[in-house]
């Protein structure tokens, strides 16, 4: 079979599929008597990736397979096509998700011990409903607490092929509790103390587990630093409306959002 035709079939399949496709799924598009020669599918994918260099979309490989996605450079414009309100996540939610991603398998009690505050059950439920985390078993201790880990959907959403592609812990300066023994570049104690005081304009987390967040402090890991306006969920399970963040406000710990 002609390589050009193979490339066109692969491109059309990736554009038409509602989810990423693996090499095995792409190979299944061809009948046995017209199977592409060895390496033809890989070459077609490489050609398509190269052809996207100057286009507004890119071909990427995530945990579930290959897909076309909007490039981060033009996402802010394309996102105006999506009329639904986008969810924004509180700092507490992002910290909990990061702990599960980096420390999995981990129990709810261990998350609370690291963060120093109770974990809202609605937060865990929301992450499970988004299929970002799942129960992976129970720890063999009294009470047999549930263990949580991330899913392929989590990796796909953030454009990752595996957990090995997560940002190094040293880059997550905003969450030093993950690995206290590592040499994080943490804000000086005097500044940190002022930031956590009740009089500061950026309110932190209270002992009761509540969490208040202003617009500039609510970071969404998705979108490579571009965040859409929409609803956000607080620790107490309530939903409010927030405004959009610019790329600079989103912070260094943002992960690419895929649409």
In whole angstroms, what is the distance from residue 136 CA to residue 209 CA?
25
Encode pLDDT of 212-236 as tens digits. 334 434 444 444 433 333 444 444 4
State residue 88's pLDDT score: 78
Question: Same domain, yes or no, for 35 and 129?
Answer: no
Instruction: For residue 12, give the nearest of 64, 58, 48, 43 by alpha carbon.
Output: 48
- Write the CATH number for 203: 1.10.10.10
Encode pLDDT of 143-182 as tens digits. 999 999 999 999 998 889 899 888 887 666 555 444 443 3
State residue 175's pLDDT score: 52
- Range of 237's domain? 88-250
Question: Same domain, yes or no, for 95 and 220?
Answer: yes
The model's pTM = 0.56
Encode pLDDT of 90-103 as tens digits. 889 989 999 999 99
Provide the number of structural domains found in the chain.
2
User: In whole angstroms, how large is the CA radius of gyration of the chain?
Assistant: 21
Task: Assess if residue 38 is contained within a domain.
Answer: yes
Domain endpoint, select from 70, 96, 129: 70
Encode pLDDT of 204-216 as tens digits. 343 444 443 344 3
Question: Same domain, yes or no, for 179 and 106?
Answer: yes
Domain endpoint, select from 42, 70, 98: 70
Instruction: For residue 192, give the nearest of 173, 179, 216 by alpha carbon.
Output: 173
């Amino acid at each position: 079979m002609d390589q050009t035709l193979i490339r066109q079939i692969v491109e059309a399949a990736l554009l038409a599929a509602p989810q990423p496709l693996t090499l095995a799924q792409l190979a299944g598009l061809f009948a046995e008597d017209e199977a592409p020669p060895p390496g033809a599918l890989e070459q077609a994918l490489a050609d398509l990736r190269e052809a996207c260099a100057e286009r507004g979309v890119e071909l990427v490989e995530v945990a579930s397979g290959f897909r076309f996605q909007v490039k981060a450079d033009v996402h802010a414009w394309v996102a105006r096509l999506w009329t639904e309100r986008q969810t924004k996540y509180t700092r507490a939610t992002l910290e909990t998700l990061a702990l599960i991603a980096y420390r999995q398998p981990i129990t709810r009690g261990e998350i609370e011990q690291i963060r120093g505050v109770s974990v809202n059950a609605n937060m865990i439920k929301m992450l499970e409903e988004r299929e970002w985390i799942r129960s992976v078993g129970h720890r063999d201790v009294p009470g047999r607490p549930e263990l949580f880990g991330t899913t392929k959907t989590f990796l796909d959403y953030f454009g990752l092929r595996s957990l090995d592609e997560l940002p190094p812990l040293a880059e997550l300066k905003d969450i030093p509790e993950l690995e206290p023994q590592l040499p994080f570049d943490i804000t000086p104690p005097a500044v940190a103390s002022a930031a956590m005081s009740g009089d500061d304009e950026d309110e932190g987390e209270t002992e009761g587990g509540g969490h208040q967040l202003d617009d500039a402090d609510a970071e969404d890991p998705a979108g490579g630093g571009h965040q859409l306006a929409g609803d956000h969920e607080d620790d107490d399970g309530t939903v409010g409306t927030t405004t959009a963040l610019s790329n600079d406000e989103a912070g260094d710990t943002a992960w690419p959002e895929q649409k």
